[in-house]
Amino acid sequence: MPPVLSKLYRFSCTYGCKKRVFRSSGGLQQHINCVHAELSSDSENEENLRTTVHLHPHLTGTPVDKDGKPLPKHARPALLPTETAHMPLNPWAPFNSRLEFDFAYHHYVDRKSPKSAINTGLDLWLAAKLDALKSDKCEPLPWANAEGVYATIDQIQEGVAPFHTVYFQYKGPLLTHPPAWMTTKFELCVRDARQVLPPYQQYDSKNERVFSNLMSGNWPWREATKIHSNDPSTDGAMLVPVVSGLNKTTVSVATGSQEYHPFYISLGNLSNAACRGHVDSVIPVAFLPIPKETEKRKDYQRFARQLYHECIAYIFSPLRAGMTTPEIVQCPDGHLRRAVYSIGPVIADYPEQVWLSGIVQGWCPKCLACPENLDDPSARRRTHEKTDFAINTYSPTEIWERFRIRDDVVPFTHHFPQADIHELMAPDLLHQLIKGTFKDHIVTWVNEYIHANHPEARALEIIQDIDRRISGVPTFPGLRRFKDGRDFNQWTGDDSKALMKVYIAAIAEYVPERMVQCLAVFMNICYILRRNAISASALTEATAEREKFHELRSVFVEEGSRQHTSLPRQHALSHFIPAVQNFGSPNGLCSSITESRHITAVKEPWRQSNRFNALPQMLTIIVQRMLEGTTAWYTAMQMSASFLDAPAGGEEHGGDTEAGDSEVEMEEDWRLDDVGPVQGPCLAPSVKLSQTRERLENYPRELNELAAAIQEPQFVDAFLQYLHEQRHPTTPIPDPIQQYLSFSGRIYVHHSAVARFFAPSDACGSGGMQRKTIRCNRYWKGGVRRDTILVSQSDEPGMYGMIVARLRLLFEFCALVQWFPTQGEEPDPLTGLWKVAPEEEGGVAPLQVISLSTIVRGVHLLPVYGKGRLPESYCYTTALDKFQEYYVNSFIDHHAHELLVV
C-alpha cells in the first residue's frame, strides 16, 4: 500500500462497522450521523417532527416507464441516462488530467488569480518536477504561461444549458427623427428554462395545519386539482411549479455603475432549506435588457414595459407545452415521472411588482385598495378576469382613474394557462418587512420624532447616544457589532436584520412607550413569519399582532413623525397571512435568496471579465464553473485503485484513530466562526466541550489550586456541593461541606463549548441543525469573555422552565455559573422581553456548579440602559458587568424567539 494512503484511510467506525474506514473524521462523523444518529426528540416544534402528511389524491408523482405507464409499487428506478458511448476517452478533456483541471479551477474559479499568479504557479510546478526527477529528463508542463491556461479553459463545452441571445426591437410607428431606442436591438441573454414531491397538506401531532415548504400550501393543491379537472388523463402526474425571482443589481465601477437584471428560476418542489442554501437550487436563467428610464415620453415607457413582459414570456415559453400535456422527465431518485409545469410564485421587490402587475406606482399589486387607504379591509382582490373586464368595459381614462391599471401593458402571465400574476406575487420578507417597514420606516420615523420634539442640539445628542447603545451591546455568536451605531450609508439586508436584534433596547426611555410597543409587536410578527414552518395557531397569533401593530403605529402620526401610514410595503403585511396559507413559509420565497445569488451570478463573473462588453464574458464564466474535490486524493486513488476497491480492515488502519479524530474535530468545529450550519440529519440538542484542554500553567488540575488561580474561592464549596447532590440527591447538603467531602481528582478546564440544536429558520445544514459556540475565556483578545446561557430547570414552556446564568468556568462535564433570575412573573409589558438581574447576596454573587447537560444554548442579554447617556469610558466588553438589569433578547435569532416567546 502506498504510504500516502496509509495516511488517508485511518478513521474506523466505532459503532460496530469494523470494516468501514474513512479518510477523515468528517467522513466518519457523516457516517455516524446517517447510520448511527441519535434522532431528535419532538421538543423542537418546528418543521415536520411527528407530523402527518396528506397527499393530493390525483397529482401524486407516480413513477412511470419510458412510455408513461405507471410502474408497479416498489419497482426499481430506471437507469440514469448516460452518454458514455459519446464521451471522449479522456473524461477531463480538453485538459489531459484531473491535476491540470484542478490547477485551472483553483486559479480561475477559487482564487480568481491574475496572470502573474498563474505564471508563478506554473513556475513552481515546473520546479517541483525538476526537483523530483533531478538529472532525469523532465516532461514539459501542459502550459507555458497564463495565456495557455486561458486558451484551454475557453475550449470547455458550455454544458446542457448554454446561454443564447434573442433580439427584441420596437415595431411601432417611427418618428421623423426617431430616438435611439426606436431603432436599437435589445439583447435578451437566456438559457432553456427546462432542466419530487406532490402537493400535500401537513398536520402536527395536535392535528393542527402546518405551512412550511411551497408544496404544503393551498395554492399547489388548488393548482393540481384544477389541472386534473381540466384533463383527467393527468392522474398520477407530478406538479412542478417554477418559482421565479428578479431584481436588478448594480456593479460599481470607477466612472459610475453598470446595471444588470438577472432573472432566476427554481423548482417549487424543493424544500425551503434547499432554496435558502444559496447554491445551485436557484439558477440564473436570463439577463433582461431593461433600458434606463432616461426619457419621459409615454410611448417610450410603454415600450420599456412591453419589452419587459415579452422577455419574461419568452423565458417561460419552453415550458408552455408541458403546462397542458405531461412531459416525461427523470427525477433525482432515478424514476421517470410525468411532469406538469406551472408558473409558480414570483419573488420581486415592490418596484418590480408594479411592472409585473401592470399597475401604477403607489397602488397595491394584489388588491384594489386606494393609496389613501391601502389597509381598507373591504378592498377586493385583483385578478386577470377583473382586469380584462375593466379594459373591455371602461374607457382608458376611467381605467386609469378608478383602477390605476395600464391598459397598454399585457402581463406575461396572460400567455400561459392558469397563471395570474396578482395571485402569484410572493410576499417578500426582506424588502417589505425587514428593509421596508423596519429600516426605512420605523427607524426613520423614530429619528424624525426625536428631531421634531427636541432642539436640534439635544436631538443630535440623543441619536448619538442611541448609536452608542447599539454599539455597546454584549457580543454573541453571529451578531454583527455596529462600531459606530447605525448611521452609515451602504445598508444591506444583513445590516437591517442585525439592527433588528438590538434596536428595541437602544430607543427605550427616549421615545414614547407606544412607539416601543409598536416596534415590539412588529418584531413578533416578523419573527413568526420568518419561521421555517408556521402552524395555524401561529398564523392566528400573527393576525392578532398585526391588528395591534396597525393600532399602535398611529402614534407616529399623533407625534408628528408622519402624516399617514398608508404605504405599499407596510400594506403588504395584510397579504402575508393568506400568502402563507397559499405558498407556505415566506422564508423559502424571500428575495434575500436571489440577492445572495447576485454575488456568484453577477458580481464575481463581472470582476473576472475585462469590463468591456462584459456580459458575454460573464455568461461564459457562469457555465464554466464546475466540480469539486481534492487533487491529492484523486491522484492517490489512481495510484492504488486495487487497494481502494478492497474492503478496508479496521485493525490495520485504525491505530491512531483517536488522535486523528481529536485533531480534525478541532479543525472543523473550533477554528471556524462561532455560528454556522451543522451538516447531517436532525439530531437531539446537545452541548459539547471543545476538544482542547487548556494549559496546566494557566489552570492547575487540583481543585483548591484551580480555585485560587481563577480567583473564585466559592468554587471549592460549589463543586463539592455538586458532587454531593449527584451521589446523594435526597440528602441535605452538610455545612461546612469541606469537612464531610473532599476531591482529589484532576479537573480539566476548557474555554468553549458548542451547542447544537434544530434551527431550520436560521443558517443551518440540510437537516436543519445549527451550532453556536459558548465561550468562557479569561484570555479573550486581551480581556475576559464570560457568555450567558439558558439552563433548563423544568418542562414548562419558555422562560417559565428556564433560567439565565453567566459562565464563570467551563470544565469536564460541568460549568461554574452565576445566576440571573427573572424580574417578575411575566415579560416586560413595554418591550415584550423578559427582564433578568444578576443575583447577589451581601454584595457577593453566589456561584453554583451545574451539569453541562442542563445547558440548552447560549442566550443574548441586552442592557436596560435606563435614562441618561452612557459614560465615555463605557465599552461593550464589560456590558455584562455594568448594569443592574438586562433584557433576555428573544430577537437574537429565530430559534431563540420560538423557544422563549410563549
Greater pLDDT, 726 or 613:
726
Is 181 a residue whose pLDDT tops 80? Answer: no
Domain assignment of residue 86, yes or no: no
List CB contacts of 322: < 8 A, sequence separation 6 or more: 194, 339, 340, 341
Contact 896, 859 (CB under 8 A): yes
Question: Is the preceding omega at residue 713 within 30 degrees of 0, hence cis?
Answer: no
Q: How far is CA 885 from the centre of its chain?
A: 33
**Pick from 25-34, 543-552, 727-736, 764-773: least confident:** 25-34
Given CA atoms 627, 629, 633, 637 in this order, what sign does their dihedral have? negative
> Phi, psi (5° rounding) for residue 572?
-60, -25
pLDDT at residue number 40? 38
Task: Examine the domain organization and report whether 321 and 440 are in the same domain.
Answer: no
**Residue of 542, 564, 543, 544 whose CA lies nearest to 553:** 564
- Give the closest residue to 753 by CA, choosing from 728, 773, 769: 773
Q: Output the pLDDT for position 157.
A: 55
Tell me the C-alpha distance between 788 and 838, whole Å.
Answer: 11
Of the ranges 14-23, 107-116, 410-419, which one carries the lowest mean pLDDT score? 14-23
Q: Which carries the bigger pLDDT value, residue 624 or residue 118? A: 118
Whether 488 and 508 map to the same domain: the answer is yes
Is the peptide bond between 70 and the residue preceding it cis, with omega within 30 degrees of 0? no
If phi > 0 it is left, if psi is from -120 to 50 it is alpha, else beta; for residue 334 that is left
Place of cell 373591504: 378
Q: How many CA atoms lie within 13 A of 604 on its CB side?
A: 16
Query: Residue 258's pLDDT band (boundaries 50, 70, 90)?
Result: low
pLDDT of residue 161: 56
- Choice among 75-84, 614-623, 807-816 with the minimum mean pLDDT: 75-84
Tell whether the model's pLDDT for residue 561 goes beyond 90.
no
What is the average per-residue pLDDT within 293-311?
81
Residue keyed to cell 432573472: 263
**Residue found by looking up cell 457568555 in the block:** 787
350 with 464, same domain: the answer is no
pLDDT at 660 over 50: no
Count of domains for the chain: 5
Domain identity same for 168 and 151:
no
| pLDDT given for residue 555 in this prediction | 95
Most confident of 194-203, 296-305, 695-704: 695-704
Residue-level pLDDT at 31: 62
pLDDT at 23 over 60: no
Distance CA 881, CA 845 (A): 12
- When pLDDT is cut at 50, 70 and 90, the band that residue 246 belongs to is confident
Average pLDDT over residues 461-484: 89
Q: How confident is the model at residue 633 (pLDDT cuts 50, 70, 90)?
A: very low
Same domain, yes or no, for 188 and 310? yes
Q: Which domain holds residue 388?
A: 164-208+218-360+375-426
CB 282 within 8 A of CB 593: yes
Going 645 to 650 to 656 to 662, the CA torsion angle's sign is positive
471 falls within a domain: yes
For the ranges 170-174, 261-265, 851-855, which has the lowest average pLDDT?
Answer: 170-174
Same domain, 138 and 180: no
The predicted structure's pLDDT at residue 682: 74
What is the distance, to the nearest Å, from the Cα of residue 53 to the centroid of all Cα atoms in its chain?
25
pLDDT value of position 556: 95
Instruction: Choose among 277, 414, 384: nearest CA to 764.
Output: 277
**CA-to-CA distance for 706 and 716, rounded, in angstroms?**
9
Type and span of the H or E element at 658: helix 657-669
pLDDT for 665 equals 30
Q: How far apart are CA 467 and CA 604, in angstroms?
A: 34
Same domain, 581 and 481: yes
- Give yes or no: residues 282 and 409 share one domain: yes
Least confident window among 105-109, 344-348, 799-803, 871-875: 105-109
Lowest mean pLDDT of 258-272, 541-555, 779-793, name the range.
258-272
Question: What's the grid cell of residue 493?
Answer: 439586508
201 shares its domain with 129: no
Q: Answer yes or no: is pLDDT of 445 > 50.
A: yes
Helix locations, 404-512, DSSP H: 421-424, 444-453, 456-471, 493-507
Span 291-301, average pLDDT: 72
Q: Which of 144-158, 370-384, 673-687 has the lowest mean pLDDT?
A: 144-158
Burial per residue of 93-109, b for 16 or more beta-carbon CB atoms within 10 angstroms, e otherwise: eebebbbbbbbbbebbb
Please indicate, yes or no, whether residues 788 and 840 belong to a single structural domain of this protein.
Answer: yes
pLDDT at 648: 34
Residue-wise pLDDT for 387-406, tens only, equals 888 888 888 888 887 778 88
- Residue 236 pLDDT more than 80? yes
Q: Does residue 255 sit in helix, strand or coil?
A: coil
For residue 651, what pLDDT is reported?
31
Q: At 313, list the grid cell.
A: 414570456
Whether 445 maps to a domain, the answer reads yes
Q: Contacts from 439-446 at CB under 8 Å and sequence distance 24+?
A: 439/491, 439/496, 439/499, 440/569, 441/567, 441/569, 441/570, 442/518, 442/519, 442/522, 443/486, 443/499, 443/503, 445/556, 445/561, 445/562, 446/507, 446/511, 446/515, 446/561
Binned at pLDDT 50, 70 and 90, residue 645 comes out as: very low
* Cβ-based neighbours of 189, under 8 Å, separated by 6 or more: 163, 164, 165, 286, 287, 615, 616, 619
Can you give the pLDDT at residue 642? 35
Q: What does the pLDDT read at residue 6?
A: 38
Identify the pLDDT of residue 650. Answer: 33
Q: For residue 646, tell me if it sits in a domain.
A: no
Neighbouring residues of 518: CB distance < 8 A, sequence distance ≥ 6: 442, 549, 552, 553, 555, 556
pLDDT at 673: 67
Distance CA 708, CA 865 (A): 34
Among residues 389, 410, 426, the one where a domain terminates is 426
Instruction: Flag whether 598 is in a domain.
Output: no
User: Which of 115, 130, 155 is a domain's end point?
Assistant: 155
Residue 643 pLDDT more than 50? Answer: no
Using 50, 70 and 90 to split pLDDT, how confident is the model at 97? Answer: confident
The answer to whether residue 622 scores a pLDDT higher than 80 is: no
Alpha-helical (H) ranges within 530-583 are 536-552, 554-558, 568-571, 573-583
Task: Answer whether residue 335 is part of any domain.
Answer: yes
Residue 628 lies in a domain: no
Mean pLDDT of 303-323: 90
> Do 317 and 170 share a domain, yes or no?
yes
Tens-place pLDDT, residues 210-225: 888 888 899 999 999 9
Q: Which of 330-334, 558-562, 569-573, 767-771 has the highest mean pLDDT?
A: 569-573
At which of 384, 407, 426 does a domain end? 426
Q: In Å, how far are 173, 219, 501 from 582, measured between CA atoms? A: 44, 5, 29
Q: Which of 38-42, 349-353, 820-824 has the highest mean pLDDT?
A: 820-824
Whole-number pLDDT of residue 279: 52
Evaluate if residue 636 carries a pLDDT over 60.
no
pTM comes to: 0.79
Classify residue 628 as exposed, middle or buried by CB count within 10 Å of its CB (0-12, 13-18, 19+).
Answer: exposed
In the structure grid, which three cell numbers stand for residue 639, read together? Answer: 495510484
Q: Would you place residue 637 in the very low, low, confident or very high pLDDT band (cuts 50, 70, 90)?
A: very low
Q: What is the mean pLDDT of residues 583-589?
A: 88
Does residue 328 belong to any structural domain of this protein? yes
C-alpha triplet 363, 368, 372: angle, nearest 5°: 55
What the block records as the C-alpha cell of 299 is 410611448
Cell numbers describing residue 302: 410603454
pLDDT at 160 over 90: no
Residues 188 and 140 in one domain: no
Instruction: Give the least confident one: 20-29, 77-86, 507-516, 587-596.
Output: 77-86
Kindly state the percentage of the chain with pLDDT values over 70.
80
Residue (of 88, 89, 123, 87) closest to 103 by Cα position: 123
pLDDT band at 831 (very low <50, low <70, confident <90, very high): very high
User: CB 583: neighbour CB atoms within 10 A?
Assistant: 28
Average pLDDT, the chain: 80
Whether the Cβ atoms of residue 63 and residue 336 lie closer than 8 Å to each other: yes
Q: What pLDDT shows up at residue 776?
A: 94
841, pLDDT greater than 80: yes
